[in-house]
Chains A and B, each alone.
Chain A
Amino acid sequence: METAAPSLVELLNLVRSEAATTRQELERQSDLGRAVVADRLTMLGELGLVDESELGATTGGRAPRLVRFAARRAAILVATLDQTAIGVGVADLSGNLLTEHHEAADLTVPPAQLTDRLSALFRWSLERHPAQDGVWGLSLSVPGAVQSGNDGAFLTATPQFMPTWEGYPLVETLTRGFGVPVWIRSSVETMTMGELHAGAGLGQRTMLFIKVGRRIGAGIVCEGQLFRGAQGAAGLIGSLPVTSGGQTGSLDSMAGSDMIQREGLGAANDGRSEVLADILRRSGEITAIEVLQAAQLGDPASVAILATSGHLIGQVVATLANALNPELIVLSGSIVQTNDILLAAVREAVYGASHPLVTRDLRIIRSQMGSSAGLVGAARVASEALFAPAFLKEWVMQGRPQAHPAFADFRAQLARGAEPDPAPPMPPASGPGEEPPA
C-alpha cells in the first residue's frame, strides 16, 4: 500500500486546487490510468478527504460526478497577535474563514495569560463551528519577524518573534492543548498571504504588500509565492535609514505612527494646528488616528505630517518596486485605511522614482481586508503546509495529519516532558493575576 501515497498526494492536490474537478480531468492531468484514479478516489473518499456526491454540468450524455475536496472535514484554528488587539478565527481546510472575533488586548501582559485567553477563544469558536474531525492545524500571526527553519513542516520549538515572549513555550503549549501542528508567521507575511489569496492580490503573480503602523514592513510575492528569504527576514524595510528635514533615522521612526503622533503633538503645542490644539485641550492627548482625522478635515499641519510620512515610505517602496517590478502594490494598516493623503504621497513618490516600464501597468491601492487579512493568511499558511506534498505523503494513508510520524513523535516527546507544565488541569495556576516566572 505504501506505493499508493504519491498518487494519492498528486490526486488530492489536483482536487484541492480545483485544477481538476472530474475523474476525466484527473486522468488527463495526472497521467494515471482510469483504474488507478478510480481506486485512489475510492481511498480518498473513504479517508473523508474528497466528496463525489455532486453532479457537474453535462456536456451531452451523462452528467459527470464532481470530485470535490472535503474542506469542511476538519478545521484550522487561526489567530493574530498584535500590540493592542488579538483576533481569533476558525477556517476550513482550504483556508476559508468561517468565523472571526477581534478584541482589544495588551501584548505586554504575561505570555501565559494571553495564551490562556487565546485558548479560551479557540475553544469558544470551535464550540460554535464544530468540524467533523476536529482541528487539524493551528496557525498564528505575530508582530515581529519569525525566524524560518524547516519550512513546510510544523514547528517543534517556539521561534523568536518578540523579546517579551522569549523563553515562553508557546508552540509547545498550543500543541499540547490542541494536539495539532502549529505554524507561526509574522503579521506582514500572513497579511500578504491573505491579500494574495482572498483580497486584491487574487490571481496576481508579483505583488508588494506594505504594512504601515508603528513599524513598516513589506511582504514580497514572486511567481505567486510568498518570498521569505534565507532567515524569514525578507521585507524588513522599517530599519532602512531615510533622511527628512536634515534628520536621518530608520523608516520606522521617521514615517511610522509614532512619528505621526509625535509631530501631531508638536503641531498642537506650537500653534501650527488649531484643530489638534483643540483636541489636545479637550482630551489631553493626541493619537496618530487624530492626526489622520484632522488631515482628512483639511488641517494643513496634519496634511503635511502625513505627506512627509507617505513620501519617505514611497521612496523606499520605489526602490523595492524597481528591484521587483510588481503588478500590484497594496498598502495596509489603519493609518492607510483611514486616510487618502498618505496613499497619494506614496503613489507620487513611487511614480516619480521608478523606471517607466515599472510603473506602466502598476496599480498602487489600499487593502480592504482590515485585520481579516492576517487571519485569512494564517489559515492559508496552515492549509498549504498540511497539504504540501512532502508533508502530506507521510499522513495521507492514515487520513489525518496527527498521524504524521514526526508529529506523533513530537507529541510523545511533549507528553514525556509534560509534568512541569502548569496548563489546563490546574486552572488557578494560570489565572489572570499570575505573575510571569522570573
Chain B
Amino acid sequence: MTISGLGPHGERAAPPERVTLLPDDRTAAKDAAWRAAVVLHTVESDWAKQQLAGMVGIFGDCGTAVIDVVDCGFSPERQVTELDRLIAHRPDAIISLPVANEEVAAAHARVSAAGIRLVLLDNVPTGLLPGKHYTALVSADNFGLGKIAAAGLSRDLREGAEVGVLGFAADFFATNEREIAFTKWLQAHRPDIRVHVERFDRMSEAANLAEKLVGQHPAMAGLFVVWDTPAMAVSERLSQLGRALPMATVDLGEAAAIDIAREGYICCIAAQQPYLQGIAAAQTVILSLLARPVPAWIALPGIRVTRDNVVESFQKVWRQPAPKEVLRVLGLSR
C-alpha cells in the first residue's frame, strides 16, 4: 500500500518496516535499561488503548520501563503541566500526542531541549522541526484516509449530489489532512458534487451541526465525519430526524463496525492501524536511543473497510475478534 500524503513539513513517508528492530538492537536496548513515558490525549478510546498495547509490548521486549502513561483529557493546559512534570523525572524518552498546536509547542520543545528523545504521534505543533525539536512523527497516512473515505462515499452519490463534511475545528494535522484530501478527491474525480463544510470543536456539537447542514441543504445526499465517535452521534441524530444518509468516516470503532455490517448509515470506513502504529512508535524510540538514524515521518497506510471485509479488517486493526453483533448480522455466528 502506498502512502499518498506528505508529512507536516513536506516529508516523504517512510514505511513502518524502516524502523524494524533486529535481535542485536533488542539486546543492546536491554543492556541499557531505559525508561520511557507516554503522554496521550486520552487513554479511554479503543484507538489509544491499542496504541498503548503496541508500544508497551515492544518496550517490554526491549527491557524499557514505561514509567508513566498520562491522560491529558484533550486539555492543552494539562499537557503542558504534565510534560514539565515528566521532564523533571528525566525519562530517556517520551512519546506524546500533541493535543493542540501553538499552546503546546513550547512545552514539547522543552522535552528535547532537556535531552529527552521525543517521538510524536499524529500531530506536530507548527514550528517544531524533526531532528531539532523532536525525533520523529509516527502517524497514519491521514491524507490517504480522506481519499479512501471520498472514494467509498462517492459510489453512493448520484450525479450532481450535495455532500456535507463535518471537520474538526481544532488545528490538528491528522484531521486537517483528512478533510483536505476528502474534498480534493471529490474535486478531481467527482467535480459534479457540491461540498458543504462545517467544523465542530466539541464532539457533542457534531450532531447539532449535522442537523443544521441537512436542514439548510435538503438535497444533502451524503456525509463525511472526520472520525467515528462523532460520526456515530451524527447517525443517531439523523435517525431521530428520520433522515437516511450514507456516511463515510475514519476509524473502525465497535459501533461503526456494527453499523456497517447492518447496512445502516456508514457505507465506508477508512481505518487506521493503531496497534501497528504503537509498535512503530516504540521501535522508533528504541532505534533513536541506540543512536541509529530514524526517518522524520513514519506513516502507516489506511485500510478501506466495507461490509464485505469488516470482520477481517476488525481483527487486523484491533487484534481481537469482531463484535458478536457483527458476526451475527453477517451470518457468521448465532
Contacts and interface: CB of A to CB of B under 8 A. Distances in A.
Given A296-B293, A369-B129, A432-B191, A102 B4 contact: no
B interface, by DSSP: helix, strand, loop or mixed? loop
A102 B129 contact: no
B143 A103 contact: yes
Interface in A92-118: 96-104, 117
B188 interface: yes
A370 B180 contact: no
Interface stretch (A121-129, A215-223, A266-274, A391-399): A121-129
B7 A370 contact: yes
B38 to A, nearest CB: 25
Interface residues of A, number: 34
Interface string B1-39: 000111111111000000000000000000000000000
Interface string B126-162: 1101111000000000010000000000000000000
A135 to B, nearest CB: 18
Contact of A85 (B6, B180, B293): B6
A85 B5 CA distance: 10
A87 B10 contact: yes
Contact of B180 (A103, A368, A431): A103
Contacts of A432: 187-188, 191
B92 interface: no
A370 B188 contact: no
A102 B126 CA distance: 13
Contacts of A87: 10
A29 interface: no
Contacts of A289: 12
Contacts of B306: none
Nearest to A296: B293
Contacts of B143: 103
A370 B191 contact: no
A370 B171 contact: no
Nearest to B173: A101
B164 interface: no
A97 B127 contact: yes
B321 to A, nearest CB: 34
B42 interface: no
A128 B171 contact: yes
B120 to A, nearest CB: 14
A204 interface: no
A312 B26 CA distance: 39
A340 interface: yes
17 contacts: A85-B6, A96-B127, A100-B9, A101-B177, A101-B180, A103-B6, A104-B6, A117-B184, A289-B12, A296-B293, A338-B295, A369-B129, A370-B11, A370-B296, A371-B9, A371-B10, A432-B191
Given A99-B171, A371-B10, A431-B191, 15 more contacts: A100-B126, A101-B176, A102-B7, A102-B9, A103-B184, A104-B6, A128-B176, A129-B171, A289-B12, A369-B129, A370-B9, A370-B11, A370-B129, A432-B187, A432-B191
